[in-house]
Amino acid sequence: MSAVAPPMALRIEPGRIITWLLLFGGGLLMVTPLVFMFATSLKDSSEIYDLAFFPAHPTLGNYVTVLSDGRFLRWFANSFGIATAVTLSNVFFDSLVGYTLAKFQFRGRYLVFIAILSTLMIPTEMLVIPWYVMAKNFGWLDSYWGIMFPGMMTAFGTFLMKQFFETVPNDFLEAARIDGLNEFAIFWRIAMPLVTPALSALAIFTFLSNWTAFIWPLIVTTSKELYTLPVGLTSFAVESQVQWELIMTGAALATLPTLTVFLLLQRYIVRGVVLAGLKG
């Protein structure tokens, strides 16, 4: 008598189980430091050096202390304002340059594109000295503009937008020209809405990278009023009395915007990354 085969719904491939276990283990490993940071932010000074993962007596006193400190709110506002301004600049100028390279034929177009891409091969650490000399010569040291100007346009954003604009049908643009729209209106009203996934991905990546930027803001600023949040949190660690519970609380508060952006816009992030890979 032949054995009865199990139903299709009950068949689970061993390889799939191993994959799920690996993904779960990797996700748990990556989330653990984040959970520890939030748990430590709920500890008081007497528990900070305990080996317990979670606090025995959770308290929000650390959050009250940090949020009542005017410096933290100033650093938070600095980071948010700078990240927002740089993101808007990238979305507009990178799209404009990418559209020009994708849809206009002119002599030297490919040389310009190659020159822009070649800057991706230069490490950021090698650009710090030229940036600093430029900021000093123009009087931009210790200013908001000095923090922002290196990231107002990026080669990655230009490349990403060019790849997407090349997929926009030229027939749409020609129809708009026949209707009497000027070139900027065609770019703004016709082409831009057709590359929304790329715009979303570029905006998200730019905001997050500027929110967490540390090296350049640390070098170009000397006034504590101009510190961004990562630089300001570092200053906590070099004070005469290190209060790790407050440092963890500040780091937790600094992480909340990035977590919020990811949770709300994760589908745009994934879609933008997938489409960027296909276009590339």
Confidence band (pLDDT; 50, 70, 90) for 1?
very low
Note if the pTM is more than 0.75: yes
Q: Indicate the helix (H) or strand (E) that contains 121.
A: none
Cβ-in-10-Å burial (0-12, 13-18, 19+) of 148 comes to buried
Burial of 258 (0-12, 13-18, 19+ CB in 10 A): middle
pLDDT of residue 12: 65
Q: Where are the beta strands (DSSP E) in the chain?
A: none
Which tens digit of pLDDT belongs to each residue from 32-90? 888 888 888 888 888 888 778 888 888 888 898 888 888 888 999 999 999 999 999 99
Token pair, residue 60, equals 């929000």
Q: What is the pLDDT of residue 240?
A: 46
Characterize 86-101 residue by residue with b for buried, 16 or more Cβ atoms within 10 angstroms of its Cβ, and e for exposed: bbebbbebbbbbbbbb
Is the predicted pLDDT of residue 2 greater than 60, yes or no? no
Q: Is the pLDDT of residue 276 over 70?
A: no
Cβ–Cβ under 8 Å, residues 249 and 66: yes
- Mean pLDDT check: name the lowest of 13-22, 84-93, 107-116, 259-268: 259-268
Handedness of CA 247, 248, 249, 253 (dihedral sign): positive
- At position 180, the amino acid (one-letter code) is G
Reduced to 3 DSSP states, what percent helix, strand and coil does the chain have, rounded to the nearest 5?
Answer: 75, 0, 25
Between the CA of residue 175 and those of 169, 186, 243, what are the distances in Å?
A: 11, 10, 64
Distance CA 90, CA 142 (A): 22
Closest CA to 149 of 165, 133, 162: 133
Cα 107 vs. chain centroid, distance in angstroms? 35
Check whether 219 has a pLDDT greater than 90.
yes
More confident residue, 202 or 1: 202
How much is the CA Rg of the chain, to the nearest whole Å? 25
According to the 3-state scheme, what is the secondary structure of 238-253? CCCCCCHHHHHHHHHH
How far, in Å, CA of 64 to CA of 66, rounded?
6
Residue 170 contacts by C-beta under 8 Å, 6 or more apart in sequence?
103
The reported pLDDT for the residue numbered 55 is 87
What is the arithmetic mean of pLDDT over 103-119?
Answer: 91
Residues in the chain: 280
Judge whether residue 114 has pLDDT over 80: yes
Res 119 pLDDT > 80: yes
Q: Which residue has the higher pLDDT, 179 or 69?
A: 179
Mean pLDDT of the chain: 85
pLDDT tens profile 183-212: 999 999 999 999 888 888 898 889 989 999
pLDDT value at residue 241: 67
Q: In angstroms, rounded to a whole number, what is the distance separating the alpha carbons of residues 56 and 229?
A: 29
Give CA–CA dist 44/55, Å, rounded: 8
Please tell me the distance from the alpha carbon of residue 168 to that of residue 176, in angstroms, as a whole number: 13
Residues 138-174 pLDDT 10s: 999 999 999 999 999 999 999 999 988 998 999 999 9
